[in-house]
Chains A and B, each alone.
Chain A
Amino acid sequence: DVKVTQSSRYLVKRTGEKVFLECVQDMDHENMFWYRQDPGLGLRLIYFSYDVKMKEKGDIPEGYSVSREKKERFSLILESASTNQTSMYLCASSLRGLTRNTIYFGEGSWLTVV
């Protein structure tokens, strides 16, 4: 079974702090994604990566950056956390070729910025 592991389930951070959300997948997937999920808005794509050291902006990249130094790990970075970044963050991965492959999700990280 594919496993996508998000290191932290619940975090509380202060405004202005730098926040790291880590994600690891164990199935040698090329693609990795970061989404945020807010009530009534569904899932919105922040960034995705299709290979090591490669990244592409999604729909809402502002205020975020990402890092993919190893194939299995994709990190989301909030350079200076703000209260409007309080949300649930979901990491996902898939094989190359979204037209025929399923995306597998982690359990989510609940971030509260106070």
Chain B
Amino acid sequence: SQQGEEDPQALSIQEGENATMNCSYKTSINNLQWYRQNSGRGLVHLILIRSNEREKHSGRLRVTLDTSKKSSSLLITASRAADTASYFCATTNDYKLSFGAGTTVTVRA
């Protein structure tokens, strides 16, 4: 069963713009992670935010977590063509990592 659901499903932006995508989930979590997947490749871990954290930064990435609303957002600032990929949120509960269907981001040059 899918735990996380990303929104929007697809996003197209101009290079240099910011990209924001959201993730909602259903049950309580230990942490939430964001992954990137380039076309036809495996997933690469971007950032992990624990359930007691509200915001986390890593380079051009900013992740927020609101456990009261069961939602998270991923912001990519100053996007580049290389950021073109699918982005997935994944929630962790004990032994299991559950993924959403992902947001496909296209960065236009």
Query: Contact residues of A with B, CB < 8 Å?
Result: 4, 31, 33, 35, 40-45, 48, 50, 56, 58-59, 90, 92, 98-100, 102-108, 110
Contacts and interface: CB of A to CB of B under 8 A. Distances in A.
A107 B41 contact: yes
A41 B41 contact: no
Interface of B: 1-2, 30-31, 33, 35, 40-45, 48, 50, 88, 90, 92, 94-102
Contacts of A58: 96
Contact of A99 (B31, B90, B98, B100): B31
A43 B92 CA distance: 14
B95 A50 contact: yes
A104 B45 contact: yes
A16 to B, nearest CB: 27
A58 to B, nearest CB: 8
B1 A59 contact: yes
Nearest to A50: B95
A42 B42 contact: no
A43 B42 CA distance: 11
A98 B44 contact: no
Rank and list the top 10 A-B pairs by shortest CB-CB distance, nearest first. A105-B42, A99-B30, A42-B101, A43-B99, A105-B43, A107-B42, A102-B45, A42-B99, A98-B92, A108-B42
B18 to A, nearest CB: 24
Nearest to A59: B1
A106 B42 contact: yes
A104 B100 CA distance: 17
Given A45-B98, A90-B43, 18 more contacts: A4-B42, A33-B97, A35-B99, A42-B101, A43-B88, A43-B99, A45-B96, A48-B95, A58-B96, A90-B42, A98-B97, A99-B92, A100-B31, A100-B50, A102-B48, A105-B35, A105-B44, A108-B41
A108 B100 CA distance: 18
Contacts of A100: 31, 50
Contacts of A4: 42
